[in-house]
Amino acid sequence: MPDMPHLWMRHESRASERRAPLVPEDAARLVAQGATITVEESPQRAFPLTDYTAAGCRTAPAGSWADAPDDVFVVGLKELPDEPKELRHRHVFFGHAYKGQTGARELLDRFTSGGGRLLDLEYLTDGAGRRLAAFGYWAGYVGAALAVLHRRGTLTAPLRPLDKARLDALLAAGSGGSTGSSPRGTRTADALVIGALGRSGRGACDALEVAGVETARWDVAETRELDRAALIDHDILVNTVLVTRPVPPFLRTEDLDDPRCRISVVADVTCDVTSECNVLPVYDEITDWERPARALRGGERPVDVIAIDNLPSLLPVEASRAFSAELAPHLGRLGTGDPVWERCLGSFEAAVRDDGGAREAGPSPHRPGDRAAAPSTTEETRP
């Protein structure tokens, strides 16, 4: 049996991030199989540190991963803090650095200058390019739920984490037609979910069903040649499609200018706003927990956008448990030459080669050789 890895689960530096990539129950299984797991202290993580120690994990102060031994795999979810400038470890998290996003070049440069490697969870895929661990369902669920609550005027800021039972109660409280009429006319407000057959799309549709909102479900067939008149004939638009190459946008400024447009709330679950792959180029900055919705335009036909890039953290326990169940088996195979992680590493190496400003990657501490893998084109969304 190959040696089990040493996993170092870091504290998340973003104050609103309460999820964990590995929950105590799954950590206990990995420890029983021989893995070493160090869990950093965190004042915001939804799972108490004592649950991890009971599972057999070691503990460490928040942020101490920077001084951890070279052979550990640093596991997280969202962005790294600004220091250290040079990254020498193998990091497992959502880097959002392969499609020219804001800060992508700087992040890749930190890895190449320090000799570290990024194993981006967005590119943890099977041989067919399908994501193996994703928060997509819960991202879609929360994104659609927030859109409904905002449309009803019951969304309060700043947002606070809660559980699914409480969120469902809020959605159900306004079901049965109380979503109101569209500001574009007398029809009862309805919704359109783009990418409805993917994980995130299914989550969005489930939330809208709890809320009692009539929902049109579009996927590949409906977006191959867009019927723009049909697209703008809905009150709520939920986009759950994350693309890996530029495609014609789903919603444009001129669509919002169309007098037939009924859209009043846009929920972009993907938040790919700084990438050339953005399919909703009608806004230029994400929203956040302090200000979940932002006006795209006012006047007689107002339109608001919700674009929060860590939506599942609103339901941190449910989202973490689902994600950890998918990720944990793969974490146990880190450092073994497993094809899943080899493809993930190949995506990093391809991104480094393709990035005009990044330096050549140094010798890989993960494996020898240099095989690149093409980015996944699955319809999934940000974590």
Strands 303-306 and 293-297: antiparallel
Q: Please pick, among 78, 99, 164, 330, the residue that the annotation labels catalytic.
A: 78
Burial class (CB in 10 A: 0-12, 13-18, 19+), 327: buried
CA dist 200 and 136 (Å) reads: 4
Rounded to whole angstroms, the Cα distance separating 355 from 366 reads: 21
Kindly name the residue from 96, 150, 234, 330 that is annotated as catalytic: 96
Torsion angle, alpha carbons of 263, 267, 272, 277, to 10: -40
- What single-letter amino acid sits at 102? T
DSSP symbols for 251-269: S-HHHHHSTT----EEEES
- Please indicate whether residue 91 is annotated as part of the active site: no
For residue 234, indicate whether it is catalytic: no
Classify the phi-psi angles of 96: left when phi > 0, otherwise alpha if psi is within -120 to 50, otherwise beta: left
Alpha-carbon distances, residue 368 vs 335, 345, 371, 380 (angstroms): 12, 11, 9, 30
> Cβ(159)–Cβ(289) under 8 Å?
yes
Please identify every residue annotated as catalytic: 78, 96
